[in-house]
């Protein structure tokens, strides 16, 4: 294979070759660019690199090229190529490089510059120490922000937000900071990262890109002289993609902000803004906004409920209510979301979970109650009125009976989650008030109370273990089960939130690990064997049980 001949086919000029330790370098001219093509000694395990020589000394800037002039013609993460087809590999790399170069100074480049706006702004900021964490979630008006400094970091909040006291309670007030949203229909391109930021660049970004109401407010503000201020600008790039940039303005004497005549007495420092608002976090993960207004209560934050609560806290819900009367102890930690670092003297699980989740997601509104469910509803029957959805992870059948009765009367949906002994299976049951049937239907057969009919373990077996005394008894299951069940619980919740459970109340079961269960000689239920023979039996629509006392209106509540 003659590499020079292949490169000549694509770049159409004289190719010169230079040899360096561990590298072969080819030089050629293409259009107005001087290209350097580097083949590492590890080629073809490492693909060739294409550079524009002296790129850093050129005032122009382009897409898909770093500050050293390296052309990023392909994303190498998880890229697979045929190391046995050398000629094909060189040709494909050359073609992709040409695609990048030929897109420069075209409408395609402008489109891609906008898509990569933040990359160019980061390059413009360079090693600037000015960085801000933005919790701003109202992008609709020109407004003054609450700006505070804590540990040399700048934090930004909407002026009406109460997040400052949660996130930076000991912070000091920063210089005046203002938020300016551009209109959706804009064609703003990122500033040239090779040139110094000045007021003319900021004015070019703003001019012609403000709605009439915002333009009026901004002009009125601009007529008042100021010394120093920070301006945060939001730039809608595409749906669910809004870029925030910032700049600190410092004037030698009080001046009209962004007045072109003040250029010589103003210094501008670019500000790198990191978004921490809920909308951005969702857009960078699932892009599922169906939960943003949901308020969810989790009853029981033990091994399963703690993982459910943790996952919910990251999914964009507006409020989380955790209920559990138990105290956190070393006995819980091996199967719990929390670790040993959460153990304190006489701390309840809900308090420890609130501390952890508030650190992980300070935006989330969290409410807790360290009471038994039965005690809570006696003391405050309206405790759940504000909540859209209930997830019951108590694992206690009698408590679930009370939950079932209470919310059936309240007309609220409940998703029950529980594990079988030794983690041989885990189950979900979604009860929706508009359909017949309830949780208690699972515990009645031919008019008699029985063990839960979804269970994979045969009834009338004793699974409890004791380490020291009766107070330390527990049902064995491994640490994998709670997190697996939590994931399945969230999946079913998402199906419900996206209107995918319109056919009735849904139950869903999953097989776990059964080695220890079998080693100790325990017996499987008839349902377990039926599901092994036909996995279609694992999930279905719940049928009303005519002998269920709740459905017959005969259940005696707590």
CA-to-CA separations, 108 to 32, 102, 185, 188, in angstroms, rounded: 19, 10, 18, 14
Domain endpoint, select from 283, 311, 335:
283
Q: Give residue-wise pLDDT tens across range 510-535.
A: 999 999 899 999 999 999 999 999 99
Length of the chain, in residues: 558
Any idea what the CATH number is for the domain that residue 395 is in?
Answer: 3.40.50.720
Cα distance between residue 308 and residue 417, in whole Å: 10
At residue 551 the predicted structure's pLDDT band, cuts being 50, 70 and 90, is very high
What does the alpha-carbon distance between residue 240 and residue 470 come to, in Å, rounded to a whole number? Answer: 55
Give the confidence band of 476 by pLDDT, cuts at 50, 70, 90: low
Of 501, 309, 453, give the one whose Cα is nearest residue 392.
309
Examine residue 227 and state whether it is found in any structural domain, yes or no. yes
User: Same structural domain for residues 165 and 309?
Assistant: no
pLDDT of residue 57: 87
In the predicted structure, residue 287 carries a pLDDT above the cut 70? no
The reply to whether 557 falls in a domain is: no
Q: Which two tokens stand for residue 158?
A: 């909407």
Do 483 and 419 fall into the same domain?
yes
Helix or strand holding residue 56 (H, E): none
Say what the pLDDT of residue 470 is: 43
Peptide bond into 44 cis (omega under 30): yes
Is residue 289 in some structural domain?
Answer: no
Query: Which of 105, 137, 152 is the C-terminal boundary of a domain?
Result: 105
Same structural domain, 14 and 77: yes
Q: Which residues contact 267 (CB under 8 A, 6 or more apart)?
A: 249, 250
Same domain, 377 and 494: yes
**Is 10 found in the same domain as 46?**
yes
Residues 96 and 122 in one domain: no
Give the C-alpha separation, 353 to 357, whole Å: 6
Same domain (yes/no): 359, 445: yes
Rounded-to-integer distance, Cα 126 and Cα 356, Å: 34
- pLDDT at position 468, please? 41
DSSP label at residue 541: E
Are residues 76 and 221 both part of a single domain?
no
Q: What is the pLDDT of residue 474?
A: 60
Tens of pLDDT, residues 228-271: 999 999 999 987 789 999 999 999 999 999 887 777 788 999 99
Question: In which domain, by residue range, is 304 found?
Answer: 295-541
pLDDT in tens, 160-189: 888 898 888 888 999 999 999 999 999 999
Residues 379 and 525 in one domain: yes
* Domain shared by 270 and 149, yes or no: yes
Q: Give which of 63, 165, 172 is closest to 123, Cα–Cα.
A: 63
Residue-wise pLDDT tens digits, 394-406 = 989 999 999 999 9
443 plus 499 within the same structural domain? yes
The beta strand positions in 128-238, using DSSP E, are 131-134, 143-150, 153-158, 172-173, 177-181, 226-238
- Dump strand ranges (E) for 276-351: 295-299, 319-323
Whether 551 maps to a domain, the answer reads no
3-state secondary structure of 280: helix
Q: Cβ–Cβ contacts within 10 Å for residue 331, how many?
A: 13
Does residue 434 share a domain with residue 334? yes
Q: Within a domain: residue 225?
A: yes
Q: Which long-range contacts (CB under 8 A, 24 or more apart) does 520-527 make?
A: 520/422, 522/421, 522/422, 522/457, 522/458, 522/461, 522/463, 523/457, 523/458, 523/461, 524/424, 524/456, 524/457, 524/458, 525/455, 525/456, 525/457, 525/458, 525/459, 526/458, 527/453, 527/454, 527/455, 527/456
In the chain, how many domains are there?
3
435: in domain: yes
Candidate from 41-45, 336-340, 456-460, 533-537 with smallest mean pLDDT: 336-340
């Amino acid at each position: 294979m003659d590499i020079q001949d292949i490169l000549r086919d694509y770049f159409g000029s004289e190719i010169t070759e230079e040899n360096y330790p561990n590298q072969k370098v080819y030089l050629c001219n293409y259009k107005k660019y001087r290209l350097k093509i580097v083949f590492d000694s590890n080629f073809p395990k490492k693909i060739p690199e294409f550079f524009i020589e002296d790129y850093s000394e050129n005032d122009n800037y382009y897409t898909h090229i770093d500050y050293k002039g390296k052309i990023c013609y392909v994303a190498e993460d998880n890229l697979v190529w045929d190391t046995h087809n050398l000629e094909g590999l060189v040709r494909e790399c050359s073609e992709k490089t040409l695609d990048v170069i030929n897109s420069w100074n075209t409408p395609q480049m402008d489109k891609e510059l906008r898509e990569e706006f933040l990359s160019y702004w980061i390059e413009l900021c360079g090693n600037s120490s000015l960085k801000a964490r933005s919790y701003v979630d109202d992008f609709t008006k020109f407004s003054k922000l609450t700006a505070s400094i804590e540990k040399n970091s700048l934090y930004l909040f909407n002026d009406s937000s109460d997040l400052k006291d949660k996130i930076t309670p000991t912070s000091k007030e920063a210089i005046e900071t203002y938020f300016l949203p551009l209109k959706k229909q804009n064609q703003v391109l990122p500033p040239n990262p090779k040139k110094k930021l000045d007021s003319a660049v900021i004015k070019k970004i703003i001019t012609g890109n403000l709605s009439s109401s915002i333009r009026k407010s901004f002009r009125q503000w601009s007529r008042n002289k100021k010394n120093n201020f920070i301006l945060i600008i939001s730039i809608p790039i595409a749906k669910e993609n809004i870029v925030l940039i910032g700049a600190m303005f410092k004037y030698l004497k009080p001046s009209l902000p962004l007045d072109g005549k003040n250029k010589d007495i103003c210094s501008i420092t670019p500000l790198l803004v990191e978004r921490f608002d809920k909308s951005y976090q969702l857009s960078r993960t699932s892009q599922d906004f169906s939960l943003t207004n949901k308020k969810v209560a989790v009853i029981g934050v033990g091994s399963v409920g703690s993982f459910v609560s943790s996952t919910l806290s990251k999914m964009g819900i507006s409020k989380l209510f955790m209920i559990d009367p138990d105290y956190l102890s070393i006995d819980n930690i091996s199967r719990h979301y929390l670790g040993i670092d959460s153990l304190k003297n006489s701390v309840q699980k809900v308090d420890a979970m609130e501390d952890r989740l508030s650190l992980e997601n300070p935006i989330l509104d969290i409410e807790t109650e360290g009471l038994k469910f039965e005690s809570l509803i006696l003391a405050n029957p309206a405790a759940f009125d504000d909540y859209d959805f209930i997830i019951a992870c108590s694992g206690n059948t009698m408590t679930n009976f009370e939950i079932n009765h209470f919310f059936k009367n309240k007309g609220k949906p409940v998703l029950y989650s529980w594990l079988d002994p030794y983690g041989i299976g885990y189950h979900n049951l979604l009860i929706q008030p508009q359909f017949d049937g309830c949780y208690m239907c699972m515990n009645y057969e031919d008019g008699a109370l029985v063990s839960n009919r979804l269970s994979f373990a045969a009834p009338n077996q004793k699974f409890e273990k004791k380490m020291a005394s009766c107070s330390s008894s527990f049902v064995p299951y491994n640490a994998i089960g709670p997190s697996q069940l939590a994931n399945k619980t969230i999946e079913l919740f998402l199906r419900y939130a996206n209107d995918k459970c319109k056919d009735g109340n849904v139950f869903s079961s999953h097989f776990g690990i059964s080695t220890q269960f079998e080693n100790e000689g325990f017996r499987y239920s008839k349902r377990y064997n039926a599901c092994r023979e036909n996995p279609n039996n694992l999930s279905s629509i719940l049928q009303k049980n005519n002998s269920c006392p709740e459905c017959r209106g005969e259940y005696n509540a707590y």
